[in-house]
Amino acid sequence: TEQKQALFTIFGATGDLAKRKLYPSLFRLFKKGELADNFAVIGTARRQWTDSFYHEVVLDSIKDLMHSKTEAENFASHFYYQSHDVNDAEHYVNLKNLGERLKAQYKTAGNQVFFLAMAPQFFGVIAEHLKSENILTGEGFERIVIEKPFGNSYATAKTLNDSLSKVFTEEQIFRIDHYLGKEMIQSVSAVRFANPIFESLWNNRHIDNVQITFAEFIGVEERGGYYETSGALKDMIQNHVLQVLSLIAMEKPEKFDEAHIVKEKVKALKAMRQYSSQEALENFIRGQYIAGKFDGENYLGYREEDSVAPDSRTETFAAGKFLIDNERWAGVPFYVRSGKRMTEKGTRINIVFKKEAENLFADNCDDQPVQNVLTIYIQPTEGFSLSVNGKAAGQGFHLEPLRLSFRHDSEFLGNSPEAYEKLFLDVLNGDGTNFSHWEEAARAWELIDVIREAWDGDTSDMPTYTARSMGPQAAFDLLKKDGNEWAWQP
């Protein structure tokens, strides 16, 4: 590897995200030699920290990854702390001066990466000042990385995007969707396009329905404050789930590169049916977890959690049916569901193939052939499986459902790069394939806003589900209406 040259500036350097994701990911790149001598990091936040205190924080965040103290300390020595008020123009002068010094000292070739690990209401003001205070010089590459949530509706996302676009071009903006950094998400495309047996069946003649499940067993934990303003629909469906859906649904890109993939994903999102408010209520359901007992453990209900209103109407579970009105997918429901405090953690895609119209074996035995299902496992283990029918060994004729499956072993996974690490390397390489683009985010909000508004206007009792279950009854009824069922029912 050739080492990368860059000055990183982190807004929100004292926060949880920086400690949990940014520092460890940068350290992983350091250990692999992607970052070596020619990088420096400026951490900023309101608090007054010294460099040496900052080093302690950075060291603590990487303690599980370090081999040797010298290596870790060498890494931490590239970090500088600058107390900063994002609204105060004068503070950017300090930032610029420090940046100039570090650029020269570490020979970063003028390349700059800005991480905005702060609340989105500050994104605009930061971007503006980077420009007005001449921190952006055009010397090397200049890229900005932003965390979700990208807006809270189409309108707020648009305002946010407009303010960023005054300073950065779309190619310079990297909107993180950390699911796009996960191994198996990327290999959805490999499974599909490298295997003619799947690619030739990837349409409404052969696929009956598609199911995407993002189940979490954790509850809201200490994030009640944020989650109360979000809910499952905005927290998971608008971004992660729709990203995965568009990768499954897109047409084959002319080339497997950013421009072509994004073009196809956007086309797929635009072909998705825009529901009316009535249709949104018919096709989407929500739920909130209530106290429950599982494996001898007691779980609180959502309304009893910290920082959650006792009469909260925030959904902790959302499920629904999307339709795509194009030639490939007409008539194929895309069922999605995501929630907290579900039975177990599991992110998976089930592609349910059509049944054979006639059963050749009807006179030979009573066994009904199972539907072929291709399952793509994303978490916690990665891999895929295919359910098929075979003949049960022995006398007579009986069908036996079998599962061909492949799972990566944990040793492989332990060594494979973490999502954020992969994404940061992409940023340094200027590859935006695995990031969310404005047109994708915009379309996703259009699809979600109508559901959100329909729910907000519905004052009937909040549907509930018991903690550690697979969601409210309505989530099962949703598929039953169509004569289908969830392929995954742990």
* Cβ closest to ligand BG6, residue 46 vs residue 345: 345
Report how far residue 416's alpha carbon sits from residue 438's, in angstroms, rounded to the nearest whole number.
29
User: Does the annotation flag 225 for ligand binding?
Assistant: no
Report how far residue 244's alpha carbon sits from residue 181's, in angstroms, rounded to the nearest whole number.
12
CB atoms within 10 A of CB 158: 15
- Binding map of ligand BG6 across residues 221-240, x = CB under 6 A, - = no contact: --------------x-----
- Binding map of ligand BG6 across residues 157-196, x = CB under 6 A, - = no contact: ---------------------x------------------
* Cβ closest to ligand BG6, residue 143 vs residue 182: 182
User: Does the annotation flag 16 for ligand binding?
Assistant: yes
Name residues contacting ligand BG6, limited to 235-274 (CB under 6 A): 235
User: Does the annotation flag 443 for ligand binding?
Assistant: no
Query: Which residue is it, tokens 């992969």?
Result: 422
Report how far residue 381's alpha carbon sits from residue 379's, in angstroms, rounded to the nearest whole number.
5
User: Does the annotation flag 32 for ligand binding?
Assistant: no
> Could you say which of 240, 260, 398, 408 is catalytic?
240
User: Smallest distance from the beta carbon of 148 to ligand BG6, in angstroms?
Assistant: 6
User: Does the annotation flag 206 for ligand binding?
Assistant: no
* Cβ closest to ligand BG6, residue 44 vs residue 211: 211
User: Does the annotation flag 166 for ligand binding?
Assistant: no
* Cβ closest to ligand BG6, residue 217 vs residue 361: 217
User: Does the annotation flag 86 for ligand binding?
Assistant: yes
Backbone phi and psi for residue 72, each to the nearest 5 degrees, phi listed first: -65, -40
User: Smallest distance from the beta carbon of 459 to ligand BG6, in angstroms?
Assistant: 26
Helix ranges restricted to H, 194-323 = 196-199, 224-227, 232, 242-249, 258-271, 277-283
User: Smallest distance from the beta carbon of 423 to ligand BG6, in angstroms?
Assistant: 12
User: Smallest distance from the beta carbon of 178 to ligand BG6, in angstroms?
Assistant: 6
Query: Which residue is it, tokens 């290596």?
Result: 71
Q: How buried is residue 474: exposed, middle or buried, by Cβ count under 10 Å (0-12/13-18/19+)? A: middle
Q: For the stretch 61-93, what's the b/e string if a residue is b when 16 or more beta carbons lie within 10 angstroms of its beta carbon?
A: bbeebbeeeeebeebbebbbbbbbebeeeebbe
Name residues contacting ligand BG6, limited to 343-372 (CB under 6 A): none
Q: How buried is residue 33: exposed, middle or buried, by Cβ count under 10 Å (0-12/13-18/19+)? A: exposed
* 408 is an active site residue: no
At 315, which amino acid appears? E
Q: Report whether 40 contacts 78 (CB < 8 A).
A: yes
Name residues contacting ligand BG6, limited to 137-156 (CB under 6 A): 148
* Cβ closest to ligand BG6, residue 35 vs residue 318: 318
Report how far residue 352's alpha carbon sits from residue 208's, in angstroms, rounded to the nearest whole number.
6
Intra-chain end-to-end CA distance of the chain, in Å: 43
Q: Exactly one of 277, 379, 389, 416 binds ligand BG6 (CB under 6 A); which one? A: 379
User: Does the annotation flag 17 for ligand binding?
Assistant: yes
DSSP strand pairing (373-379 vs 383-391): antiparallel
DSSP strand pairing (383-391 vs 399-407): antiparallel
User: Does the annotation flag 13 for ligand binding?
Assistant: yes
Q: Exactly one of 208, 216, 426, 440 binds ligand BG6 (CB under 6 A); which one? A: 216
**Nearest residue by C-beta to ligand BG6?**
235
Q: Report whether 315 contacts 230 (CB < 8 A).
A: no
User: Smallest distance from the beta carbon of 405 to ligand BG6, in angstroms?
Assistant: 21
Report how far residue 417's alpha carbon sits from residue 426's, in angstroms, rounded to the nearest whole number.
12
User: Smallest distance from the beta carbon of 127 to ligand BG6, in angstroms?
Assistant: 23
If one asks whether residue 38 binds ligand BG6 (CB under 6 A), the answer comes out as no
Report how far residue 69's alpha carbon sits from residue 75's, in angstroms, rounded to the nearest whole number.
10
* Cβ closest to ligand BG6, residue 145 vs residue 167: 145
Report how far residue 75's alpha carbon sits from residue 30's, in angstroms, rounded to the nearest whole number.
7
User: Which residues form the catalytic set?
Assistant: 240
Annotated binding residues for substrate, as ranges?
A: 178, 182, 216, 235, 340, 345
Residues contributing to the site for ligand BG6 (CB under 6 A): 148, 178, 216, 235, 379
Annotated binding site: 12-19, 46, 85-86, 148, 178, 182, 216, 235, 340, 345
Known binding-site residue numbers for NADP(+): 12-19, 46, 85-86, 148
